[in-house]
Amino acid sequence: TGGGRLAVGVAGDGGAATFLLAGGTSITGGSLTFATANGTVTVEDPVAAGPGATLDGVTVTGGGTIDVGVAGETSASILLLDNGTTVTGGDVTFATSGDVVEVFGPATLDGVAVSGGGTIDIGTGASPTGALTADDGTSVTDGAIAFGSASDALDVEAGSTGPNHGATLDDVAVTGDGT
């Protein structure tokens, strides 16, 4: 907490740095910045009563990869995005179809490529309302989007910085009563 900056990797070194979030880790406020597009944040070690990791009001930039889960895991890994968390550029990759990104408050995927067959749950957990904005060429390939209630929303906007404005859903099952 406190609004500081977490850096994944060192600018100019070209190497691939990995930052592990596990066991219910929560980052509140501030920023998480990939120094290079080779950087990775891995979410694993699911907790029986909640997500393996939470980004709460965090700004993620730099174009790296957020891996939700690891190959061979026996239970789902969950990444919770809440309270205005924004991920700009890069990738979100699910290791298995059982892995989940939960959206509890407003959150934004801005120019992000989501793949791997997992599920984006919008407002399906303890949250009364979930809202996900997808813009600036965000794409979701394979997997599912699940709405918890009619008040939950996926808001596709043009954005202002991506090469392809808006968002694309490709081979994605959409379920629930949201809009």
pLDDT in tens, 113-128: 999 999 999 987 665 6
The pLDDT value given to residue 14:
67
CA atoms within a 13 Å half-sphere pointing along the CA-CB vector of 13: 11
pLDDT at 126: 60
Residue with tokens 């934004």: 108
Helices (H), the chain: none
Average pLDDT over residues 13-33: 87
pLDDT at 46: 66
Rounded Cα distance, 134 and 129, in Å: 17
Is the per-residue pLDDT at 59 higher than 90?
yes
Q: Is 79 exposed, middle or buried (CB count within 10 Å of its CB: 0-12, 13-18, 19+)?
A: buried
**Which one has a higher pLDDT value, 146 or 49?**
146
Residue 2 phi, psi dihedral angles, 5° rounding: 110, -10
CA distances from 89 to 20, 48, 95 (A): 19, 30, 19
What is the β-pairing status of strands 153-156 and 131-135?
parallel
Beta bridge partners of 68: 43, 94
The token pair at 98 is 């059982």
| pLDDT tens readout for residues 43-52 | 987 666 678 8
Q: Which pLDDT value is given to residue 88?
A: 95
pTM, to two decimals: 0.92
By percentage, how much of the chain surpasses pLDDT 90?
Answer: 59
Bridge partners (DSSP) of residue 88 are 110
pLDDT tens digits, one per residue of 65-101: 999 998 888 788 999 999 999 999 999 999 999 899 9
Integer Cα distance of 20 and 31 in angstroms: 16
Amino acid letter, residue 3: G
